[in-house]
A and B are shown apart, each in its own frame.
Chain A
Amino acid sequence: MSLRNIGIVYRKELTEALRDRRTLISTILVPLFLFPVLSVGFGALAVTLVGKAKEEIPKVMLRGGEDSPAVVEGLKKLDKIEIVPATPGWKDQIINKEIRAAVEIPAGFQSDVAQEKSDTVKIYNYQGELKSEFASEKVEKYLKDYRDKVVKERLAAKNLPETVLRPFDVKQENVAPPEKVSGAAFGGIIGYMVILLCMSGAMYPAMDLTAGEKERGTMETILSSPISRMHLVLGKFFLVLTAALGTAALSVLSMGVSFSVLAHYTAQSAGGRAAASGLLLKLGPKTVISVFLMALPVAVLFSATLMTIALFAKTYKEAQSYLTPMTFVVIIPAVAAMLPGVELTPELSLIPILNVSLLCKELVAGTYHWNFIAIIFTSTCVYAAAALFLAIKMFQRESVLFRS
């Protein structure tokens, strides 16, 4: 094994990679801008949209209630909704978003309440439509407050304490550290992003250094030099690995920056604070380093596998058609790890990609299961070593190098 020879190949491939626009875009530009655009952009957009939806004064149509003036009066006094008189075709108006909701008060509602008869007030809305739900929430809150008031009055009239209806209270209290709460929701995405970017960072150089070399006719040139094929493949492999890790490192870095910028932004806007608190994530250096360390064997696995597959192709285009389906092979386990309720088990910790994805979720949430970390790191290293061995073997096969 000659480190000098591997180094010579590596340095040359690095020189070429740094002069290649496509490589620079996929390994540096994409990870650097994807996270700010995704997190800050989306986050800010969400905060603004939620804020706007809350600020708009929705129109709510009142149907019936002619004989219940007190309730109607109360509704009209409500802040931030506008009561409009009943017109025909109200359902279509809700669907067409001309009005946001409609409330239907049954005939004789107020006198029914006074006589302790039960009635149903109906609120019509457009489910899943944010502004419509806000409007109906407000109306519903008013009606529930009104109901509570009636209950209290009745209890008072009969000289009964309020505890008759509420013998005791039930309360939930969170004891998990704050990063765990946000980690559970968003930790999955981080692992997913790092794994996917690791792959996309390795993909272009892996194709360029194998199929690309065949396509440009330099494969025969390099094979005629005295360097052994093992040194050649290792030099190339280290460059692909550099690209994968570079992409992963840049993505983790830009992710950290993006989240702190997002935190800063939401802290400033009062309306956004509540809406975005679920998005906020505290990523310490310890988390960042552990996520990166777990990405290391994954990057080796990707680099070697992608190179082996791309080597079969004769042209860059052919390599692309082989590697594009690979993206799905990676995305599926990475997405599976994001599903709620999927947690690390000894069996799952042996499935490549899924295991690291799940572990990242835990790491971001601040949990360190050392036995799982050991199993996952070791098993991924074993897979990675197998993939690298296969890549070296393939580089020694004439039928692969000179496929015609």
Chain B
Amino acid sequence: MIEARGLSKRFQDKKRGEIRAVDNVSFTCQPGKIYGLLGANGAGKTTTLRMLATILEPTDGTATVFGYDVVEQPEKVRANVGFLSTATALYPRLTSQEMVEYFGRLNGLDENTLKRRVDDIFNRLDMNEFRDRRCDKLSTGMKQKTSIARTLVHDPPVMIFDEPTNGLDIMTARTITAFIRECRDNGKTVIFSTHIMSEVEKLCDTIGIIQSGKLLTEGSLPQLREKYAERDLEEIFVKVVAPLYAASETH
């Protein structure tokens, strides 16, 4: 369960002055459901998810993740979150297995549990063939599997995916979307961000559209279709975002 309440993040920029990357965003994600954050580049998706993962601290507002406050108990939050993005790379000089073990230990697993967990994940994701290969020698698909194993090693109840398929080929991207579905089916709370409409249509139980740091609308796909009287998600997105987008362009 994730609950964001008035989550805001402001940056100081030398040229442009104060930037509201995320502006008073509130939403709720339920266990066993996928929440999709849809937005253009620079809309505030990454900043929002980074605040949920406690990598960034909110300037205003807060959020609770699995009952823990992101400002008050960031380390507890991180222990219950699996965070995956195309920016979360692997350590090139560690092997696939060492990488997963390192994060298991950082999550406080004892050696016995760790070994069992790692063996289980490597079997399940069919990774035994390259478990002792260094991460810089892995193919993109193997790297993604290792990243997935890394987020799963401590079996977190909450999963946060920041544009997880960005820049991946179709086959690797499918591994990721399959994994996201599996997380939902296992009862985890899942939030993920993307700018790809088809992913949202296929995966999300709830869709939130974000632009210029503001959460503009929220609902399931059928609800949004009804509300905006459009069938196609892309058309809905354009209808929602257009006024703000024009404003930000002239700005």
Contacts and interface: CB of A to CB of B under 8 A. Distances in A.
Contacts of A5: 106
A217 B86 CA distance: 9
Given A224-B81, A398-B57, A19 B93 contact: yes
A218 interface: yes
Interface stretch (A8-16, A176-184, A277-285): A8-16
A221 B53 contact: no
Nearest to A18: B93
A224 B79 contact: no
Interface string B87-130: 11111111000100011011110000000000000000000000
Interface in A1-49: 5, 8-9, 12, 15-16, 19-20
A225 B91 contact: no
B55 A220 contact: yes
Given A8-B106, A217-B87, A224 B94 contact: no
Contact of A12 (B50, B56, B94): B94
Contacts of B107: 225-226
B94 A16 contact: yes
Interface in A208-223: 216-218, 220-221, 223
B81 A217 contact: no
Interface string A282-308: 000000000000000000000000000
Contact of A226 (B91, B108, B150): B108
Contacts of B50: 220
A389 interface: no
A143 B88 CA distance: 83
B94 A15 contact: yes
A217 B88 contact: yes
Given A220-B88, A225-B107, A398-B56, A20 B93 contact: yes
A220 B50 CA distance: 9
A228 interface: yes
A322 interface: no
Contacts of B83: 220, 224
A12 B92 contact: no
Contacts of B75: 226-228
B87 A220 contact: yes
Given A15-B94, A217-B87, A221-B150, A8 B102 contact: yes
A402 interface: yes
A225 B103 contact: yes
B98 A15 contact: yes
B78 interface: yes
Given A8-B105, A12-B102, A15-B98, A223 B55 contact: yes
A9 B102 CA distance: 8
Interface residues of B, number: 29
A190 B106 CA distance: 42
B90 A225 contact: no
A224 B70 CA distance: 12
B24 interface: no
Interface in A195-237: 216-218, 220-221, 223-228
Interface string B148-161: 00100000000000
A224 B79 CA distance: 9
A12 B135 CA distance: 14
A227 B55 CA distance: 11
Interface in B127-157: 134, 150
A239 to B, nearest CB: 13
Given A8-B105, A15-B98, A224 B91 contact: no
Nearest to A218: B89
A19 to B, nearest CB: 4
What 5 A-B pairs are tightest by C-beta distance, nearest first?
A: A217-B89, A224-B83, A226-B79, A221-B88, A226-B78
26 contacts: A5-B106, A12-B98, A12-B102, A15-B93, A15-B94, A16-B94, A19-B134, A216-B89, A220-B50, A220-B85, A220-B87, A221-B90, A221-B150, A224-B53, A224-B78, A224-B81, A224-B83, A225-B107, A226-B76, A226-B78, A226-B79, A226-B107, A226-B108, A228-B75, A398-B56, A402-B56
Given A218-B90, A224-B83, 18 more contacts: A9-B106, A19-B134, A218-B88, A220-B50, A220-B55, A220-B88, A221-B88, A221-B89, A224-B53, A224-B78, A225-B107, A226-B75, A226-B76, A226-B79, A226-B106, A398-B56, A398-B57, A402-B56
